[in-house]
Structure 1
């Protein structure tokens, strides 16, 4: 029990990594924060925020990346080793930390290694010793092997998909840590895995059954004897033995936390066949036909197979190639054609060539470039963009160069680096009017809140790529069998919680 203001370190590494994408998430993919910059990154630790003065916060190192491919071993090990070395040095100088806020995703894959976050948590535990509390905050699309749960004294994850409670979850993890430092110490943990692995687009909390199940997670968290409750759906686009759903309930009453963890697990298991896509889902041809036949505008289509926010390489060109050949978009609007936006396609050399043409000739400059499929050329090779430049800007913190190339009625956003398009301002800031466009195609799964509110209607396109929604088409072969829907079950799984 801590009576004076506790000392708490913040550290972690966060990325969602598809093992079915050839992309590799090297140093260029990560934003590194240390010291006060890291502490200030958390809104609930801003000056005047309730938790700011409740502890002496120290930023060690946090590495965060947009989802992508697997992380090279040397990148992960460098981050891990710096965190460990810094913790040891700071403790040698100032004494032991009271707590660590470990901020991870849960779906990081490191080349040649399974369960990288469990390895990170174990390394942090070895550095700080058994007397320091670790509170781990995660994405609900992460995996929780036993080793990760054991290394963490407190562990929680988001309760909303889309993740509108990102900062609320991290604040809860920090508040739980401070509460247990004041009184109670490390709680008990009831942990179990559920042999179900589904894509996030089928487990959105906007719809049933996830809506009710996650409401029950919140109910469990408020029970007497419970500190927190969490349910992870797992990460569907990695092929590791621990990929599956998981439940952890923490608290002081062993009877309560075991009972509630098991009932949450049973709810999830029993609903396994009830989960459906968050929107009408169909192949490209059906989606485009419905969008063009609809009077609703704008009509959004998710190019889900190459969603960079789920781990896709971002440069798969399969859908764009179909759009470029679509008769409705090959005719100019003033001649009876339709309008569309495609967001987006990363290709550094193509973006630079378009930017150079714009610099030389301004808006309206003719361009003819091949773009895309530099990283993931499995479904389709590069596409030819022969059109006119309408906009170029440089210095976007995520995308670098951003160019808009109009090919007849289709406007293609071409970027230097991968960037997800989640906000209306992402479009309007580059001169595009999504609300006045017939069809808007975004590389995403379920629509993020801003797009969801803007869409008059939408569909989920089932397209190829590293995060293909057709999981059985991907070829998982390393899952610890059996896991639904990949394997048949000879009997009902026991779903017995282990008290850690």
Structure 2
């Protein structure tokens, strides 16, 4: 960050920064509902302890946790749960404000939370927070690049940034950047400056994360431009949001936001990034070879295929908002004749929830043969519950997401069943269940692009274009509320999109007003 004007202390004492936010990625195409306990809320000192970088910054600011909650992606948040959590956030912030002067707020969110009856939940929540902390408190938001930034949200925040990598290997780095930017503004803002200026540009493109991974072009080069814009004189931060493709809301689209002290610089930076995104819209491709589920399994079993061969069952990916409850993929696997004998190719399948099936396996114990039924308790559009007879291979208790996990061996398939849905991103997720994914022939995971540890384990992999609430074939889902025209739903635009910067200064009207 560089400045065109001299800096002067904005807060003589050490600033007080409050922390609050709710984060979830929500698919409107899955029938599941998300309730308050799924956010695993941290409160008070728990919030501060959650982020090690805050203790390293304790000499520059005092941090006060209100409440943050991060839920596994899933279905729409029911309104009562949202009201419960939002009310507690407001109550806790009011208690902080009543006892000391609050200078800043770190708004820790994702940006794709959908609440019953709300089209822009993050702005609604921040409006409630603003009503407590007041218009003078400087707000800095950290977000997922698959979040959504409406003009209203851009107006309510003073600083906003998002991840620059997909997969999100820079998640913690991004959160720390949001806080450091906030503290810098509170302590060393330029003389005479009130608040940063923001340039916001919507881009009529909506693509899934699996087509915009920064592991490959054009996203790699596109996101490489972000730090270059950030280094411009008068700019504090630059960001590109891909947007969230599996919600059907008017706000869903790509966006660029650049913040800083120099209006011309932030406008030029935002326009540079927006034009770069639009210019490469036709060049985005899937992060791996794709095919039907059958084609992916055929490739995994083909002579000479490298093992372990990973297959993403992408349509029911619980870390993109899928219910994780579908049985379609496991049904297809168990129907393959190659896997019916225990001596066949070793397959690991992760996973299908089934509380009753898990309970029955736990009661029977490791080594027992059981017949259980699992899955499709809420998401049965493409397949109903699946009944299996197999040997209990492993049992594990105490997982944060699943609570209890069991592995059932059916033929040569090791199917992971869970009490509650869970993502499988790490090698220990498998080895803790006495599974050896590196020695397996095929590993099928409900995921999109492979997270880093899975990517490192895979000798080869394919992305299966399977059905579900986060179907990679967006046209198959049937959006009807998104803004149009929108690429790739529309390939021909009546006129070129307006990619000029919308300047959102903080001083033109009260922060609580509509932009």
Is the CA contact (8 Å cut-off) linking 2:342 and 2:410 kept in structure 1? no
Is the CA contact (8 Å cut-off) linking 1:154 and 1:186 kept in structure 2? no
Which of the numbers 59, 63, 76 marks the counterpart of 1:53?
Answer: 59
Is the CA contact (8 Å cut-off) linking 2:36 and 2:85 kept in structure 1? no
1:344-383 map, 5 Å: 344-358=351-365, 363-383=366-386
Which of the numbers 317, 321, 327 marks the counterpart of 2:337?
Answer: 327
Aligned equivalents of 2:127 and 2:493: distance in 1? 33
The CA deviation string for residues 387-444 of structure 1, in whole angstroms up to 9 with x for no partner, is: 1101112222221111000000000000101111101111111100001100000010
Show structure 1 runs of 5+ residues with no match: none
Deviation >3 Å, runs of 4+? none
Report whether the alignment pairs 1:414 with 2:417.
yes
The CA deviation string for residues 445-484 of structure 1, in whole angstroms up to 9 with x for no partner, is: 0000001011000000000110000000001000121211
Aligned equivalents of 1:123 and 1:24: distance in 2? 23
Q: Return the offset for 1:177.
A: 0.2
The CA deviation string for residues 179-206 of structure 1, in whole angstroms up to 9 with x for no partner, is: 0001225211000110100000000000
Q: Return the offset for 1:295.
A: 2.9
How many residues align? The count is 489
Is the CA contact (8 Å cut-off) linking 2:19 and 2:66 kept in structure 1? yes
Q: 434-443 vs 125-134, which deviates more?
A: 125-134
**Cross-structure match for 1:231:** 240
Aligned equivalents of 2:251 and 2:71: distance in 1? 22
Is the CA contact (8 Å cut-off) linking 2:240 and 2:257 kept in structure 1? yes
Show structure 2 runs of 5+ residues with no match: 1-9, 505-515
Q: Return the offset for 1:108.
A: 0.2
Q: Return the offset for 1:375.
A: 1.4
- TM-score for the superposition, normalised by structure 2: 0.94
Is the partner of 1:68 in helix, strand or coil?
coil
1:261-276 map, 5 Å: 261-276=270-285
- TM-score for the superposition, normalised by structure 1: 0.96
**Cross-structure match for 1:182:** 187
Is the CA contact (8 Å cut-off) linking 2:356 and 2:373 kept in structure 1? no
Aligned equivalents of 1:97 and 1:480: distance in 2? 38
Q: 55-64 vs 181-190, which deviates more?
A: 181-190
Which of the numbers 122, 127, 144 marks the counterpart of 1:122?
Answer: 127
**Cross-structure match for 2:430:** 427
Is the partner of 1:273 in helix, strand or coil?
helix
Aligned equivalents of 2:485 and 2:126: distance in 1? 27
Which of the numbers 322, 338, 348 marks the counterpart of 1:312?
Answer: 322
**Cross-structure match for 1:249:** 258
Which of the numbers 485, 490, 501 marks the counterpart of 1:497?
Answer: 501
Q: Return the offset for 1:378.
A: 0.6
Q: Return the offset for 1:123.
A: 1.7
**Cross-structure match for 1:385:** 388
Q: Return the offset for 1:86.
A: 2.2
Report whether the alignment pairs 1:466 with 2:462.
no
Which of the numbers 195, 206, 221 marks the counterpart of 1:197?
Answer: 206
**Cross-structure match for 1:156:** 161
Aligned equivalents of 2:217 and 2:402: distance in 1? 35
Aligned equivalents of 2:403 and 2:42: distance in 1? 20
Is the CA contact (8 Å cut-off) linking 1:355 and 1:401 kept in structure 2? no
Q: Return the offset for 1:124.
A: 1.6
RMSD in angstroms over aligned alpha carbons?
A: 1.0
Aligned equivalents of 1:260 and 1:122: distance in 2? 28
Is the CA contact (8 Å cut-off) linking 2:36 and 2:82 kept in structure 1? no
Aligned equivalents of 1:116 and 1:230: distance in 2? 21
Is the CA contact (8 Å cut-off) linking 2:299 and 2:305 kept in structure 1? no
Aligned equivalents of 1:467 and 1:286: distance in 2? 20
**Cross-structure match for 1:97:** 102
Is the CA contact (8 Å cut-off) linking 2:198 and 2:258 kept in structure 1? yes
Aligned equivalents of 1:365 and 1:81: distance in 2? 48
Is the partner of 1:17 in helix, strand or coil?
coil
Q: Return the offset for 1:356.
A: 1.0
Which of the numbers 29, 34, 50 marks the counterpart of 1:41?
Answer: 50
Is the CA contact (8 Å cut-off) linking 1:122 and 1:148 kept in structure 2? no
Report whether the alignment pairs 1:394 with 2:401.
no
**Cross-structure match for 1:208:** 217
Is the partner of 1:460 in helix, strand or coil?
strand
